[in-house]
Structure 1
Amino acid sequence: MLTILDHTCGKTLRTTAFLCVLAAAACSKKSSPSSETTNTATGYYVSPDGSDGNTGTINNPLRSINTALSKVLPGDTVFVRGGTYSEKIVFPKSGRLDKYITLKAYAGEKPVIDGTGLSVVGKEALVTLRNNSFIIFEGFDVCNFKSATPWVNANGILVDQGSKNIQLKKNRIYNIEHNVKPDDGRSGHGIEIIGNTDVMMKNILVEENEIHDCNTGYSENLTINGYVDSFIIRKNKIYNAENIGIDAAGGYSANTNAAYNYARNGLISENELYNIDMTTGPIGGAHGHGAIGIYVDGARNIIVERNKVHECDRGIGIVSENDAYPTSNCIVRNNFVYNSWRTGIYLGGYLNYTSGGTNDCYVVNNTLYYNNIETGAFGEIEGEIRLTERCNNNVIKNNLVYARPTDVFVHKYTTTGTNNIVDNNLYYTTGTAGWIWNGTAYADFAAWKTACGGDAGSTYGIDPLLLNTALPDLHLQNGSPAKNTGVIIDATIQGDRDIDGNPRIVNNKISKGAQQ
């Protein structure tokens, strides 16, 4: 889903909604055993030097990955030796509980599924899991799937049609490209997970993958869209992208049933995203720096935590582009967001465009540093934290905001939206950065607090003593005024670990920012 104009948000949220998110994440972990614990009945081997007439043993390997997959039963593993495989992989079978079908790289070797010269017809992927269950795909390069044909959709990995209990691990996806003009439907995905039937997709794990140098046009690098419930997107690295890094979406044409048409109950954690830059592709020509690192758009009950997002057009968004799908009951916590071209974290509906908005969300314990390198789509400074249309019942607390000298700490654009709480933050700048509330600018901290009706527990003008602002390293020096000066809302809201994996709350105290 393209982000080119604007977004934003604000207060109180029911704790039970977040308990559901945590329960969903726990369920996903329990239902997703690692490949090391998979009950393997038979091992098949594939090698570039093999033959499909062979038996598939290590000394008599097959040549085609698809041929090997046609032979497996639940519990079997296909080990693929290093080398290049020019074929579109389609999983023909499913495993079952405790008997996953596993397709993985042979230990210490790198198999490459290479799309060079392969055609793209309609929506296609180099690796497709369609109505599959209990599958592990691990350790491959998936690359060079390109098209210059209008209105096709090139994907590295596609998971759809009710698939469940799927693990995508330790793969590298790159050079997935739809090289046409924007008017010809430039679109594609590194990984697309799309719930496009009335069968719920659930227990999806995407972990330790690397996605880079893909031309996805109006689409994204890693997408979770439609009827997908209980997913974990963890420890991935996404970079050198012309549009959105990670997108959990709702309200698009993924599913014809409106009740099913949004992602829900997910965890986006410990990922690193950088060089997400729309100006590197033709979409950015008219819209500038409009892409987003991590984007929750019309989805519900999503936790975004412990990520590092830097050198992106915008950092993290819990936003809605669609009228009937407000982004709801989400938490953005314990993240580092820095050096964005525009805003760091934002909430709300697009200005003068949608009525969806952002409701009942938390933005807590994040560290933001030196975002807003350039002005926004309307020539304005978007703000380190940005709220646009229809933000209702949101909480913004315990954030450490270190702004550029002429920056805006918090920017609420319009009078739409109510009951947003802003408090217990630490604001610092070496210059004259200020605040904007309902479109009015404030340079004076006391006047700002009166205008927003909050921030009584916040501090302004005290150096937070970041470890190194030159690198930057956003960790805290000993003696930082952010240390142990936050307010505990609820452990389920603030999480049990900080950005480094250390306990988030210690001796019933919590620090401001992402590091305890």
Structure 2
Amino acid sequence: MDTSKLNCFKGVFLLATVLLCFSVLTACSKKSIAGAEQPDGQSADRDIYVAVNGNDSNKGTLNAPVNTIQKGLELVTPGFTVFVRGGTYKEKLNFPRSGRKDKVITLKSYQAEKAIVSGEGLSVLGSEALVTISSVSFITIEGLDVCDFKSAAASVNVDGIVVKAGSSNITLRKNRVYNIENNATAELWRSGHGIHVIGNTDVAMTKILVEENEIFDCNTGYSENLTINGYVDGFEVRKNKVYNGENIGIVAAGGYAANSNPAYNYVRNGIIADNEVFNIDGRTGPIPAFKDHNGAIGIYVDGARNIIVEKNLVKDCGRGIGIVSETNNFPTQECTVRNNLVYNCSLAGIYLGGYIGYTGGGTNNCYVINNTIYHNNKDLGYSNEVEGEIRLTENCNNNVINNNIIYPRAERGVFINKQIVGGTNNAVSNNLYYSEGVNIWRWNNIPYTDFNLWRVACGDDTGSTAGIAPQFMNTVIYDLHLKPTSAAKNTGIITSATVNGTTDKDGQARVVNNLISKGAYQ
């Protein structure tokens, strides 16, 4: 036998064997990295699917889905999505890991299917949410129903969705949150939230986006339907619908027990825009102060700073929009309320200041500008008074009220009510006042029915008009756009794009040919 040929053959065979093994190992390695052949129960770099007929021992593929959303969250890795098929999932959810800047973790319903996260039959322990985002970032929740989480126990807090503990880069989009209920009696301190964002650590929560959600039919007791509280620095609350609630619709808050450090214990640098808030009635809830008077505010900035409230529709609430403070040492300041439509509320349309005889916080350096405020004060206030379309109370300083259309009910007639003596440098100008009945302004709690005397009392009110109708398109259906011949057309004053905003209530240019109209619509 030719040994040289044999040795050559052996060498070729050995080389082929090595190459084959290397190819197999490489292929296995690639499959492992891709997650296509991950062992059951391990995370996978791919989208995960959840279905009511799935099994948590499955891999979470479309054809072999897992059964619980929580299992899907445990399997998914940054950059991928947990898709939830239609059906009802009775479970509490907690996100176990963060996404990354370029690889967000998303939880959403699958295509057009209706995925419901239900708390029916689940207990509420202490302060607890049906969906919890805690100490994680780069998370999106989209298109889910979150509902039916209820308790009547003492000293519990019931939340639909909570975001807390330094979480940032969070998006809550197009979810429906309803029947989140704390049904305890008032003395058991009833509290709950539909959506609750709370900065309760020394890490600022930033880039929080809450948009296009629907929050309704929640019993929140002493708390609110959509809450931003504590150390939150940079948020947007946009295009949400909040309705049928027993207390405040949307709030940006400070001065409460959200954060133990006073320097961190208030919300700052946020936008509340393009929301609809309606049918908020405090008389349906447990708060004793609301028993006979619906004081529940539609959109509320309470002890927060540098907040823009713009282009919202607030109707049929207790009070419309409040830039108020309930807490000493936490004034509401550097806020702008502009281009909003507020009508048909029980008490004041827009409210500034601290609660009379209750708090020293107050409202400082704020703008109330280019709003349309119509037919509020359906009811009398706590002292049997008409609170007014715009109301100022304790510790209002350096605030500006201009370019508004203020149109009270004929039988009420109170345009602006500065209800107490005190506060400094509050400037009123360039508003349009019109009433079909009585005409009343109050300054330092002194009533004026003569416009000229009012101007002297408040410090001139330059550029305002009284007694000329704004010519709304159709008040029967609350179409409060202006007719072309309106006295409010192009008669406002331009402060700056920063103050006036760049678009009106409809999203059209706020300033046209260097002219601005009064009210919410250009």
Q: TM > 0.5 between the two?
A: yes
1:63 counterpart SS class: coil
Corresponding position of 2:484: 478
SS of aligned partner of 2:442: strand
The answer as to 2:194 corresponding to 1:187 is no
For these two proteins, the number of residue pairs brought into alignment is 477
User: Are positions 1:308 and 2:304 aligned together?
Assistant: no
Pick the aligned partner of 1:138 from 139, 142, 151: 142
SS in 1 for 2:99: coil
Q: Distance in 2 between matches of 1:186 and 1:374?
A: 26
Say yes or no: does 1:297 pair with 2:302.
yes
CA distance in 2, matches of 1:96, 1:287: 50
Question: 1: distance between equivalents of 2:319 and 2:245?
Answer: 13
Mapped to 2, the partners of 1:172 and 1:299 lie a distance apart of: 27
1:415 counterpart residue number: 421
Give the corresponding residue for 1:374.
379
Measured against aligned partners, the alpha-carbon deviations of 1:314-371 in whole angstroms (never above 9, x if no partner) come to 0000000111000000000000000000000010011011111000000000000000
Could you say which residue in structure 2 is the equivalent of 1:114? 118
Q: Is the 8 A contact 2:353 2:394 kept in 1?
A: yes
SS where residue 69 of structure 1 aligns?
helix
Matched ranges for 1:80-119 at <5 A: 80-119=84-123
3-state SS, counterpart of residue 74 of structure 2 = helix
Aligned counterpart, 2:40: none
- Among 442, 447, 450, the alignment partner of 2:448 is 442
TM-fit CA distance, 1:473: 1.1
CA contact under 8 A between 1:207 and 1:235: conserved in structure 2?
yes
Aligned runs of 1:151-162 on 2, under 5 Å? Answer: 151-162=155-166
TM-score where L is the length of structure 2: 0.91
**Structure 2 unaligned regions, length at least 5:** 1-43
CA contact (8 A) 1:249 1:297 kept: yes
Of 87-96 and 40-49, more deviation after overlay is shown by 40-49
Mapped to 2, the partners of 1:449 and 1:416 lie a distance apart of: 18
State the shift of 1:439 in Å: 0.6
Q: 1:467, 1:477 within 8 Å by CA — same for their partners in 2? A: yes
Matches of 1:391 and 1:41, distance apart in 2: 55
For residues 45 and 397 of structure 2, the distance between their equivalents in structure 1, rounded to whole angstroms, comes to 53
Q: Give, in angstroms, the shift of residue 148 of structure 1.
A: 1.1
SS in structure 1 opposite 2:456? Answer: helix
Matches of 1:180 and 1:325, distance apart in 2: 29
Note the C-alpha offset of 1:287.
Answer: 5.1
Contact 1:307-1:336 at 8 Å conserved across structures: yes
Specify the SS of the correspondent of 1:67: helix
Aligned equivalents of 1:454, 1:297: Cα separation in 2: 29
Q: % of aligned pairs identical?
A: 62
Aligned counterpart, 1:226: 230
2: CA distance between counterparts of 1:513 and 1:54? Answer: 58
**1: distance between equivalents of 2:286 and 2:439?**
33
1:110-143 C-alpha deviation (Å, 9 max, x unpaired): 1000100000000000000001100000000000
- 8 Å Cα contact 1:166-1:205 kept in structure 2: yes
8 Å Cα contact 2:166-2:202 kept in structure 1: yes
Q: How far 1:416 moved relative to its partner?
A: 1.2
Instruction: Measure, in 2, the Cα distance between the counterparts of 1:82 and 1:483.
Output: 50
CA displacement at 1:73 relative to structure 2: 1.2
Tell me the residue number matched to 1:256: 260
Q: Which residue of 2 aligns with 1:279?
A: 283
The answer to whether the Cα contact below 8 Å between 2:45 and 2:76 also exists between their aligned partners in 1 is: no
Distance in 1 (CA, whole Å) between partners of 2:413 and 2:198 is 38
Question: How far did residue 282 of structure 1 move?
Answer: 2.5
Q: Which residue pairs with 2:169 in the alignment?
A: 165
Contact 1:404 1:433 in 2 (8 A): no
- After superposition, the C-alpha distances for 1:437-468 in whole angstroms (9 at most, x for unaligned) are 00100000001001101212100000100011
Give the deviation of 1:288 after TM superposition.
Answer: 2.0
Unpaired runs of 5+ in structure 1? 1-39
In structure 2, the partner of 1:235 is 239
Residue equivalent to 2:38: none
Deviation at 1:71, TM superposition (A): 1.0
Secondary structure of the residue aligned to 2:116 is strand
Contact 1:355 1:390 in 2 (8 A): yes
The two structures, once aligned, show a CA RMSD in angstroms of: 0.9
Partner of 2:204: 200
Contact 2:313-2:341 within 8 A present in 1 as well: yes
- The answer to whether the Cα contact below 8 Å between 2:55 and 2:67 also exists between their aligned partners in 1 is yes
Is the counterpart of residue 424 in structure 1 residue 430 in structure 2? yes
CA distance in 1, matches of 2:214, 2:45: 30
**Which residue identity is paired with 2:475?**
T
